[in-house]
Chain A
Amino acid sequence: MKKTQIVLLILIMASIAVLISVFGDFSSYETFASAAKEPKKSYYIIGTLDTAQGMHYDPKVDANHFTFFAKDKSGSKNKVIFNGEKPRDIEKSEQIVMMGYMDGDTFHCSKIQMKCPSKYKKDMVAVGNNG
């Protein structure tokens, strides 16, 4: 076997190993119930804003604290705390993707992605940290 081939083989094996090891980095879409099975582990939850129950944001008290209620795909409702400013237009959102973890009966969320029914504009709005 040639030297190049040996090195290639090693590199490819190493990268396969890397790919497998980072496979655990990949998250998954869950519901409030399934995320609650592993509290404090971060997941994505897809849902909608529950407008029946109020939302609360008072930047004078804490600019990084926004609470609201969301309904997940299975239809169950849960309280959500977002550690950031209230995303604009969340009232109009058709769908919200929340990244965070369950703790007790609240979902702590650090990133929100919304789909708004803006007719002709780029329709995804991401809010949160680190893009």
Chain B
Amino acid sequence: MANTQFIGEHLWPGQLGHFFVIVSLVAALFSTFGYLRAVKTEGLADEKTWRIFGRIGFGIHTGAIIAIFIALFYIITNHLFEYHYAWEHSSYDMPSEYLLSCFWEGQQGSFMLWTFWHAVLGLIVMKTAKQLETRTMAIIGIVQVILTTMILGIYLGPDIKIGTTPFMLLRHAMQNAPIFAMPNYLEFVKDGNGLNILLQNYWMVIHPPILFLGFALTLIPFAYCIAALWKGDYQSFIKPTLAWSLACGAILGTGIMMGGAWAYESLNFGGYWAWDPVENASLVPWLTLVAGLHTLLIYRSTKRAFILTSVLLLLTHLLVWYSTFLTRTGILGKTSVHAFTGDGAALTYHLVAVIAFLLLISIVAMGWKWKSLPRIKTEEETLSREFWMFIGAVVLFLASVQISVTTSIPVWSPLAKWITGKEFAPPTDVMSHYNNIQVWVAIIIGMLSAMVLFMKYKHTEGKSLAAKLGGTAAVAGVMTGFIAWGQDITAWQYVIMLFSACYGIVATIYYGVAIQKSKFKKLGPSVGHLGFATVLLGILLSSYNKHAISLNTTGVPFNFKKNTDQETIKENMENVIMFRGIPVAMGNYYATYIGDSDVNGKDKRIYYRVVFERKDSVTKKTLERFVLYPDAFINPKGEQGLSANPSTKHYWDRDIFTYINSATDKSKTDTSTYRSHIVSKPGDSIYLANGFMIFNGFSNEINDKRYVAKDGDLAVKAKLTVHNMQGVKQEINPIYILRDKQYIMQVDDTVLAMGLYARFGALNVHSKDSASIDIQVRQTNPMDDFIVLKALVFPYINVLWIGIVVMVLGFFISLGDVVSSKIGMLKKTTV
């Protein structure tokens, strides 16, 4: 077996790729060692040499990572299915823009992406960190060593495996499959598995790189905090850490909400946020990061809150690792099946070891310097920015604790079962579980984010503060009342949240315009907070009045009334069946499913055309008409069922969001047959299921691309006019051909919207003047062609998207401000 000579394999890209994995690991070790020596020899002549050692090592490391990328990309683009990764994640028919997405669909590819971003950021830190370079780069080097082991794929003994290589051969991945006993097995591996169809979407191309850049950015504040503790220099780290944290807040925030937009736009989760564990796992680090960013601001201005700042920023990076643990090891998905694949178990231990190691570094660094950490004995004033910002940070932290506790149920439930004997499961109503708690966090943070702007560090004048706060609150109160009345928001806690959001909007605008005089450079905080308050408003408006307009009214509802509360039932009755051509009332609209169409080329989806019409109730005139094209893959990859993508109509103030839940498989259901109708003179009519057809005589002027004339042909077309129920007329001309006086051929004509197929069946000449023809008509039963559709209305969803853009803009304005002031600071300190 071992000596089998396999035919057609391309082994060199994989061997080269694996070689570069090892190079990048060794170079990262080398770099870390160099930088560690540089720290040891700080101030001595050797320091410079060791530092250069470290830099060269990191440069080689980065180059090797790029080489790994190229090797894997070569394998994927050339469809070398002898490699497991290419076979699993790509296929021939995949559009080329998704070839890049294959990288991050798989475990190893996304680790590579993560490593790549760390390396790029590491190069920037190397350039800019100055006196903290040796320490930050040593930490980054250690993390890079760890990350590279994730794609190492080395066996220590038969059972212990470190990492999984992306260059594994298919025949090694599935050693027991008999096909691999054949030297020419590649001839039978015709195509790869391809990208999961749910992921074939442009979001899959841009969302993962942004999100991973956000994750990668958490490493830099982590490295700077450790470096500060290590050096015992609690001053020089402030500005770079602030800048990196702002960048991270912007990018990670963008990445998370891109995920939300993706979920909203293309995955039929029925919304942009579902408190799904995977979503929570990326939100939690963002919350702690934002909290840490604010306590760092406190520290910059007042020298207070150093400990909390370090804890939050160190924790943020650890939480990114924890979120990797939650989402990659399958611990969340198992709910009860504890069966891991071998890879899963290896990855679990690997990640647990990494988290433990990084946690240890953090604890040691803090514990070691615990006594000398900057502290201030005196108390802050109640009317000071730092006091309320501190509280805000703690609230954000506690919010992330709550989200983590619920998300981590599968992690702690074995322990809880051991203690209580009860097997804990996630809440049955996840949405309201989180919403009921987090609404209070939103209220507190919304209020604080506006209030703190008006306060000054250390001391604030009470009277003028009260005047500003009171004035803006009054305006916000009016705005709240107006919106609550207009949008019919009545639940009291959501009215408070609405006030909090309105207050945030009014106060930040007032602060930016009246107090900061719109000086762009300094507008970061007010713009960021304005964005945050707008996000809150958008969430509230779009979720509170989100409703289905596809309520099921045609079906036979079962008697729920005596069973359970109405709400859950409503949730479940949001699918409506639509037969082709039969209008269904949906909200203000009449929606009609008018048929499907597939598109040529690589797009294998079927698009379902659904016409929405809004009519004036009195005049019956159509006021508005649009077509939505929700689409679906029917029986993808031989599986039963369908995989759907939504289609959305955007208005400025709301979205109408539709997706298909079920549809007929045309290849199976069309059982209709042709029926004969004899007509002889013009004006004869044929009745159809949903209209009628009039015979207008013959003609031999044939103008149909499908018919190619040949000598000796006798070709006649029947002229028919089809009238549907709505009074719309359409000409059709089925053709009858007698070739060489013996072969009869027919060319059918169709009216697709009516599912009508007409065939010129036979020509019977009775005498010189009289002839009759047999028109054969087949109509697909409209009841055989239906879709099950869900249509939701999201009011004011654009407020949410605008809020996010504004918030990210705020982060960037602040970043620009910090970076430009950093140059000034460095000039002073490096002299």
Q: Are B337 and A44 closer than 8 Å at their CB atoms?
A: no
Quick check: B336 and A83 within 8 Å, CB to CB? Answer: no
**How many angstroms from the CA of A8 to the CA of B392 in the assembled complex?**
11
* A33 touches B (CB below 8 Å): no
- In the complex formed, the residue of B with least CB distance to A91 is B640
How distant is the Cα of A62 from the Cα of B426 in the complex, in angstroms?
30
Which of B128-136, B356-364, B501-509, B551-559 forms contacts with chain A?
B551-559
- Docked-complex contact B275 and A27, CB < 8 angstroms: no
B801 contacts partner chain A, Cβ-Cβ < 8 Å: no
Indicate if the CB atoms of B380 and A42 lie closer than 8 Å. no
Is A110 a contact of B563 with CB atoms below 8 Å? no
Are B402 and A88 closer than 8 Å at their CB atoms?
Answer: no
List, in ascending order, chain B residues with CB within 8 A of A2's CB.
379
CA distance A117 to B643 in the complex (A): 18
B402, B428, B552: the one contacting A63 at CB < 8 Å is: B552
Give, as a whole number of angstroms, the nearest-CB distance from A1 to chain B: 10
Q: Mark A68-93, 1 if CB is under 8 A from B, else 0.
A: 00000000000001011111110110
- Total A-B residue contacts, Cβ distance less than 8 Å: 156
- Closest Cβ of chain B to A59, distance in Å, is 5
Task: Establish whether residues A88 and B641, one from each chain, have CB atoms under 8 Å apart when the complex forms.
Answer: yes
Decide yes or no whether A52 CB sits under 8 A from chain B. no
Question: Are B640 and A83 within 8 A (Cβ)?
Answer: no
Is A54 an interface position by the 8 A CB rule?
no
Our pick among A4, A29, A89, A113 for the contact of B641 (Cβ within 8 Å) is: A89
Q: Residues on B close to A: CB < 8 A?
A: 88, 193, 196, 269-270, 274-276, 333, 335-337, 379-380, 382, 387, 390-391, 394-395, 398, 401-402, 405-406, 409, 422-431, 433, 436-437, 552, 555-558, 563-564, 568-569, 571-577, 639-643, 661-662, 783, 786, 788
| A3 to B436 CA separation, bound complex (whole angstroms) | 29
In the complex, the 10 A-B pairs of residues with the closest C-beta atoms, listed nearest first? A88-B641, A131-B274, A83-B572, A62-B555, A42-B428, A25-B427, A27-B425, A63-B788, A44-B425, A29-B423
CB proximity of B170 to chain A, nearest CB, Å: 11
Closest to A41 in B: B428
Chain A positions near chain B (C-beta within 8 angstroms): 2-4, 7-8, 11-12, 15, 18-19, 22, 25-29, 40, 42-44, 46, 59-65, 81, 83-89, 91-92, 95, 97, 99, 101, 103, 108, 110, 113, 115, 120-124, 129-131
Q: Which of A26, A65, A115 has the most CB atoms of chain B within a 10 A radius of its CB?
A: A26
Compute how far the CA of A101 lies from the CA of B200 in the bound complex, rounded to whole angstroms.
36
Measured in the bound complex, the distance between the Cα atoms of B394 and A7 in whole Å is 10
Alpha-carbon gap, A92 to B637, bound state (A) = 14
Asked if A84 and B575 sit within 8 Å, CB to CB, the answer is: yes
Provide the bound-state CA to CA distance between A46 and B423, in Å.
12
A64 near B336 (CB under 8 angstroms)?
A: no
Beta-carbon nearest neighbor of B193 in chain A: A120
| A119 CA / B645 CA spacing, docked (Å) | 24
Contact between A4 and B390 (Cβ–Cβ < 8 Å)? yes
Closest to A2 in B: B379
Q: Show 28 residue pairs from A and B whose CB-CB distance is below 8 angstroms, ordered by the A residue.
A: A7-B391, A8-B394, A11-B391, A11-B398, A18-B437, A26-B406, A26-B424, A26-B426, A27-B427, A27-B428, A28-B422, A28-B424, A29-B423, A42-B429, A59-B577, A60-B786, A61-B556, A62-B558, A63-B552, A63-B661, A64-B574, A83-B572, A84-B575, A85-B661, A85-B662, A108-B563, A108-B564, A131-B270
In the complex, which residues of chain B have a beta carbon less than 8 angstroms from the beta carbon of A84?
572, 575, 661
For A62, what are the chain B residues with a Cβ–Cβ distance below 8 Å? Answer: 552, 555-558
Known: A19-B405, A64-B575. A131 touches B335 (CB 8 A): no
Which of A15, A18, A25, A113 is in CB contact (< 8 Å) with B335?
A: A113
* Residue contact A44 to B788, C-beta cutoff 8 Å: no
Asked if A130 meets B427 with Cβ closer than 8 Å, knowing A59-B786, A64-B552, A65-B558, the reply is no
Q: Is the CB of B555 within 8 A of A83?
A: no
Which residues of the other chain, A, contact B409 by a CB distance below 8 angstroms? 26
Q: How far is the CA of A15 from the CA of B395 in the complex (A)?
A: 9
Using Cβ atoms and an 8 Å threshold, which residues of chain A touch B573?
64, 83
Residues of B within 8 A of A12 (CB): 398
Taking CB atoms, residues of chain B closer than 8 Å to A28 are 422-425
Chain B CB within 10 Å, residue with most, of A3, A40, A84, A130? A130
Query: By the criterion CB–CB under 8 Å, are B387 and A59 in contact?
Result: no
Whether the Cβ atoms of A63 and B430 lie closer than 8 Å is no
> What residue in chain A is nearest B433 (Cβ atoms)?
A25
B residues within 8 A CB of A95?
336-337
Return B175 CB to nearest CB of chain A, in Å: 15
**In the complex, A87 Cα to B429 Cα: how many Å?**
20
Which B residue's beta carbon lies closest to that of A99? B428
* Contact, CB under 8 Å: A124 / B333: yes
A residues less than 8 Å from B423 (CB atoms): 28-29
Chain A nearest Cβ from B663, distance in angstroms:
9
A19 touches B402 (CB 8 A): yes
A15 touches B402 (CB 8 A): yes
Residue pair B276, A131 in contact (C-beta under 8 Å): yes
The answer to whether A85 touches B276, judged by C-beta atoms less than 8 angstroms apart, is: no
Q: Smallest CB–CB gap between B273 and chain A, Å?
A: 9
Decide: A83 near B433, CB < 8 A? Known: A26-B427, A63-B575. no
Chain B residues positioned under 8 Å from A113 (CB to CB): 335
Nearest-CB distance from A102 to chain B (Å)? 11
- A123 to B288: give the CA distance in the assembly, Å: 31
Chain B residues with CB below 8 A from A108, complex form: 563-564
* Residues B196 and A29 in contact, CB atoms below 8 Å apart: no
Nearest chain-A residue to B409 (Cβ)? A26
Bound CA span A61–B320, Å:
48
Minimum CB–CB distance from B194 to chain A (whole Å) comes to 10
Q: A26-B426, A113-B335, A129-B270 are in contact. Are A60 and B783 (CB under 8 A)?
A: yes
Contact A130 B395 (CB under 8 A): no
